[in-house]
Amino acid sequence: MYGLARRVIVRAHSVRFASRLSLSESLARDAPIDVHPEVQDALTTGVPVVALETALTTHGLPPPINLQVTKDLETVVRSTGCIPATIGIVAGRVKIGLENSDLERLADVARNPRSVKISRRDIAPALASKADGGTTICATLIFAALANIKVFATGGLGGVHRGGENSMDVSADLHELTRCPVGLVSAGVKSILDIGRTLEYLETLGVPVISYSRTKDFPAFFSPRSGFQTPWNTDDPVTAARMLHSQWQLGLDNGALIAVPIPEEYAEKGEIIQQAVNQAVLESEQNGMSKRGKDVTPWLLSRVAELTKRDSIDSNIALLKHTALIGGKIAAQYQSLAS
């Protein structure tokens, strides 16, 4: 009897340890997390909230436009009636909702070059070392889930890199979508990646992939169409919100990818950018950059910007604003279903 009881207790203990903590439980453990009062208020009163990431601020876009774009995305989210929760790490504290001064600090990459690109594996070391960091999709999903934010809008999901079947370079973004019940609204995955294998991997992980479009074409970040098809599509925020709601009604504790194509007027530019992407990927293989782990994506992005004389940056900004808009619309609809 004693043995059985003890085993049960041990098991209960380990289950509890493995299970997700709520924000209040984390805070009760003195976790270094600050929720912005505006975000806290929205979460308490049922105003929809959209999470935004900061790896695009610290590592995705060059200064000074990085700061402006991060602020603009918040404005776009507000235009949909939602509250933006831009997430990042400042001086070893997780910020869910950033003050302007924090945003400025993260965006000032020249004066703040030690600001780290934060994925799941980096979170605890960065907090313990009191570092600054831009949260990737992976890390932003974790904090959005912790705060019970159901929609997160951003640009490009990480994925299986070209040659990933040998290098094993597969972004932690993908696996995180199995752990966090958050709807990720993004412009697909960049064509610096192996899009086909990324979709295969998401299928294996059981993550719903929905094209936010009249067709099932999966977008390719700089281009509205990648040539790959998704299993589902809708171009209606109500239906997209219902897809998320059905999933979580069933307690399916994973996220979903809602892939929003860049606006059609950028399609032509997208084809030219694609050539620069191919060249940059080739160069990264020749100069060894492709073996540099988390530096690969930022290097490729900045090389493509150089090669396209910043056309890629204009497209990147356009698609970011578009996903923030659609993310806000979906979050607003989700809120009325959930409340």
Which x/- pattern, by CB under 5 A, does the window 111-150 give for Mn ion?
----------------------------------------
Nearer Cβ to ligand PSU, position 23 or 137?
137
Told to judge if 190 belongs to the known catalytic residues of this protein, a careful annotator would answer yes
Q: Which of ligand PSU, Mn ion, none does 240 bind, CB closer than 5 to 8 A by kind?
A: none
Q: Which of Mn ion, ligand PSU, none does 304 bind, CB closer than 5 to 8 A by kind?
A: none
CA atoms within a 13 Å half-sphere pointing along the CA-CB vector of 271: 5
DSSP conformational letter for 122 = G
Distance CA 95, CA 89 (A): 6
Question: Of residues 191-210, which lie at the interface with ligand PSU (CB under 6 A)?
Answer: none
Nearer Cβ to Mn ion, position 102 or 169?
169
| Residue whose C-alpha is closest to residue 167's, from 290, 2, 61 | 290
Span from 10-18, 125-133, 261-269, 293-301 in contact with ligand PSU (CB under 6 A) = 293-301
**Residues 169, 191 contacting (CB under 8 angstroms):** no
Span from 79-87, 88-96, 133-141, 205-213 in contact with ligand PSU (CB under 6 A) = 133-141
Question: Of residues 143-172, which lie at the interface with Mn ion (CB under 5 A)?
Answer: 169
Catalytic residue of the set 53, 74, 95, 269: 53
Told to judge if 53 belongs to the known catalytic residues of this protein, a careful annotator would answer yes
Helices (H), the chain: 2-18, 23-28, 37-45, 55, 65-79, 100-107, 123-128, 137-146, 164-167, 172-176, 195-205, 237-249, 267-286, 296-307, 311-338
Give the shortest CB-194-to-Mn ion separation in angstroms: 12
Q: Catalytic residue numbers?
A: 53, 190
Interface with ligand PSU (CB under 6 A): 53, 55-56, 59-60, 136-138, 155-156, 158, 171-173, 190, 294, 297, 301, 316
